[in-house]
Amino acid sequence: MSNLSSKPYQIGYALTPKKEQTFIVPSLLSYASQNGVVLTKIDPTKPLIQQGPFDCILHKLYDSDWKQNLQDFASRNPNIPIIASPESIDILRNRISMLETVSKLKINNTGVPKQITITEVTGLENLKLNFPLIAKPLDADGSETSHKLHLIFDKDGLNNLTAPLVLQEFVNHGGVVFKVYVAGKYFRCVKRKSLPDISEEKLVNLKGSLPFSQVSNLAAAGGGEGCKFEKTEMPPESLVKELVEGLKEELRLNLFNFDVIRDGKNKENYLVIDINYFPGYAKMPDFESVITDFLRDVVHKDINCGDN
């Protein structure tokens, strides 16, 4: 269905080359332009106020020059929505403030794994967490290192880690993670393969720490339980919806996803383990129409983009 009733909306985007390659794909450009939305590349090194004109700005850049550029533009164009405000994005760039948003929601049968922040990797003798643990860099800033995770099986595994980091209890969850993609009014829950469960019997044979890249061998080495991916039930739609609405309000974000796991010890319970600003929507079926509808809603102001 094409929409030629009005002048197309100009959406300026500022993304890393990798993000541009995976997200600004021909299918999105053509669907959007057939539905009254034109996506135009911004040169983040030049003043935003000298580019455009734009009806909306979409970005996923974190450097301070870009933040200042965006600030200058926003102060002169208070009515042009920006997806998303750096203040909202920053909440997700720290893995403690990220999950504190979930705890604040106090939604029944939801929570986050027990976790602590480690600023230096010495004096960890009286850790009040149960092994196995997952060590995650405290900064979830999109860098390669921000995704370098380690499974920690015992106290020796805590050596050679690089602080600051978050130590989170590993929760057995049947080897399936649920990823909930949110784009304004739209949300969709998908299943993804996850780390296999680590039973008590297996844990006694696992020593030290293991970077994720090797963890997928755990099942091959008999280290993890088989996971019944296809048969794994989705979480209750009502619970997912509550989390979506609560996180949208708490984060003041409309373009994010979050990872949820079912607690292996209490199947009614769901734990949010990660929240990501502007994730890989192109992996989602029909992402072209989802993103185009979302952008139109933002320009129409049917969706409040935080401060704008």
Ligand X SMILES: O=P(O)(O)O[C@H]1[C@H](OP(=O)(O)O)[C@@H](OP(=O)(O)O)[C@@H](O)[C@@H](O)[C@@H]1OP(=O)(O)O
Ligand Y SMILES: Nc1ncnc2c1ncn2[C@@H]1O[C@H](COP(=O)(O)OP(=O)(O)OP(=O)(O)O)[C@@H](O)[C@H]1O
Choose the stretch contacting ligand Y; rule: CB under 6 A; options: 11-19, 37-45, 163-171, 296-304.
163-171
What's the CA gap between 135 and 161, in Å, rounded? 8
Strands of the sheet containing 37-41, edge to edge, are 37-41, 9-14, 56-59, 82-83
Of 140, 165, 210, 243, which lies in the binding site for ligand Y, with binding defined by CB under 6 A?
140
C-alpha to C-alpha distances, 178 to 36, 167, 279, 300, 301, nearest whole angstrom: 33, 21, 14, 31, 30
Stretches 78-86, 239-247, 262-270, 279-287: which one binds ligand X (CB under 6 A)?
A: 279-287
- Choice from 38, 276, 289, 306 touching ligand X (CB under 6 A): 276
CB-based burial label for 76 (10 Å; 0-12, 13-18, 19+): exposed
Count Cβ atoms within 10 A of the Cβ of residue 91 and give its class: 0-12 exposed, 13-18 middle, 19 or more buried. middle
Are 215 and 209 spatial neighbours (Cβ–Cβ below 8 Å)?
A: no
Give the residue ranges of the annotated binding site.
19, 60, 95, 136, 147, 168-179, 194, 259, 274, 276, 280
Q: What, of ligand X, ligand Y, Mg ion, none, does residue 110 touch, CB below 5 to 8 Å by kind?
A: none
CA distances from 109 to 252, 259, 270, 285 (A): 23, 15, 6, 29
**Residues 261-290 contacting ligand Y, CB under 6 A:** 261, 273-274, 276
Closer to ligand Y by CB, 136 or 188: give it. 136
| Nearer CB in complex with Mg ion: 56/195 | 195
Question: Stretches 4-12, 55-63, 167-175, 228-236: which one binds ligand Y (CB under 6 A)?
Answer: 167-175
Helix (H) or strand (E) holding 87: helix 86-92
Annotated binding-site ranges for 1D-myo-inositol 1,3,4-trisphosphate? 19, 60, 147, 276, 280
Strands (E), 224-308: 255-262, 270-277
Cis peptide before 132 (omega within 30 of 0): yes
Nearer to ligand Y, 150 or 248 (CB): 150
18 lies in the binding site for ligand X (CB under 6 A): yes
Select from 283, 301, 304, 307 the one that contacts ligand X (CB under 6 A): 283
Site membership for ligand X, residue 257 (CB under 6 A): yes
The footprint of ligand X (CB under 6 A) covers: 18-19, 22, 140, 142, 179, 257, 276, 279-280, 283
The footprint of Mg ion (CB under 5 A) covers: 259, 274, 276
